[in-house]
Structure 1
Amino acid sequence: MFFGDLNRQDYKRGLPQVIVDICEQLNTMNLDDLTVGRHDLTADIYMNVQTLTTEAAEKRKSEFHRKYIDVQVLISGKESLDYSLAFPDDKDYTPYNSDDDYQLTLTHDLAHKNTLTLSPKQFVVFLPYEVHKPCCNVEGETYEIKKLVVKIPIDLL
């Protein structure tokens, strides 16, 4: 997992080159003007732009991916993301959805939970098998958010 802030001059320090390239591309865009839906960034990399309402973490399910890296960038609002450093145990998750590359937890609990809160232009990168629960309320407050999630095949790392 990596996290950073596209507003900082040094946001790319220590990031793998493919993530640096995507962040540089994002920094040339007017993120506020992006339309909701899928946008292809390269032949292999795409992003989904979403507008959502955050929810209490207790109501959200965790997820992880196998084939794709998630680069989640908050465009507007505030969002907390719960995550775990524990390796996921398949028995605690739904069957793998290979078409959309995800598994969801069977419960709302997250073992060894940590929380990260994002403000606009901050990002978090989740590698395959890193469990995360996005779109959570911030300190009990609900927010309308706009965010994007870039999907990078792990093979490009």
Structure 2
Amino acid sequence: MIADYADKLNTYEEFKDYADMVQQFIKKQKEENLPEGRYDLKNGIFALVQKYTTKSLDGAQMESHKKYCDLQYIVEGTEKIYWASLRKLTVEDDRTPEADIIFYKSGPEQGYTLLEAGMFGFYVPEDGHMPCIAVIEPQPATKIVFKIPVKG
């Protein structure tokens, strides 16, 4: 798991292959206020523009993905994204391979990241994550989730 400001994407070796593309799409979203939906980029990467209200931790579930890493960029709003190693979690609902998502029984979150507008969180398949959690009270938020294919 990595969390930082999006203007620093180019400083990470892990993101060198797609940092410019991600930053260009973020700029386009800011300029055009793109509607919710899926946007196919290149090299198997796609972006999901999401507008929602953050939610309470009650009833929320950890999730992970096998085929894609998530780069979750906050356009507007603030949210907590909880994190836990898959080693600490128990599968509750495995929807692979039809959908690239696995849900886990509630369990020991190992921490969270507070993301505000302009920041991103990056989650690899070994990272359980629970996004969209309200900081104090639910509030409107806009996010772009970049789905980046796992190499190899």
CA separation of 1:4/1:15 partners in 2, compared to 1, >3 Å: closer, same or farther?
A: farther
Q: Secondary structure at the match of 2:10?
A: coil
Superposed CA deviations along residues 50-79 of structure 1, whole A, max 9, x for unmatched, are 111111112211100011010100111111
Q: Which has the higher strand share?
A: 2
Identify unmatched segments of 5+ residues in structure 1.
Answer: none
Identify unmatched segments of 5+ residues in structure 2.
Answer: none
Number of positions where the alignment pairs a residue of Structure 1 with one of Structure 2: 150
2:11 matched residue in structure 1: 13
1:147 matched residue in structure 2: 143
1:114 matched residue in structure 2: 111
Distance 1:59 1:136 in 2: 11
What is the TM-score with the length of structure 2 in the denominator? 0.86
Q: Secondary structure at the match of 1:59?
A: coil
Q: Cα distance, 1:11 vs. partner? A: 3.9
Distance 1:75 1:127 in 2: 21
CA RMSD of aligned residues (A): 2.1
Distance 2:13 2:141 in 1: 26
CA separation of 1:49/1:30 partners in 2, compared to 1, >3 Å: closer, same or farther?
A: closer
1:74 matched residue in structure 2: 74
2:128 matched residue in structure 1: 131
1:4 matched residue in structure 2: 4
Q: Is the 8 A contact 2:88 2:108 kept in 1?
A: no
Determine what percentage of the aligned residue pairs are the same residue. 23
Q: Secondary structure at the match of 1:57?
A: coil
1:102 matched residue in structure 2: 101
The within-5 A match list for 1:59-70 is 59-70=59-70
CA separation of 1:48/1:30 partners in 2, compared to 1, >3 Å: closer, same or farther?
A: closer
2:42 matched residue in structure 1: 42
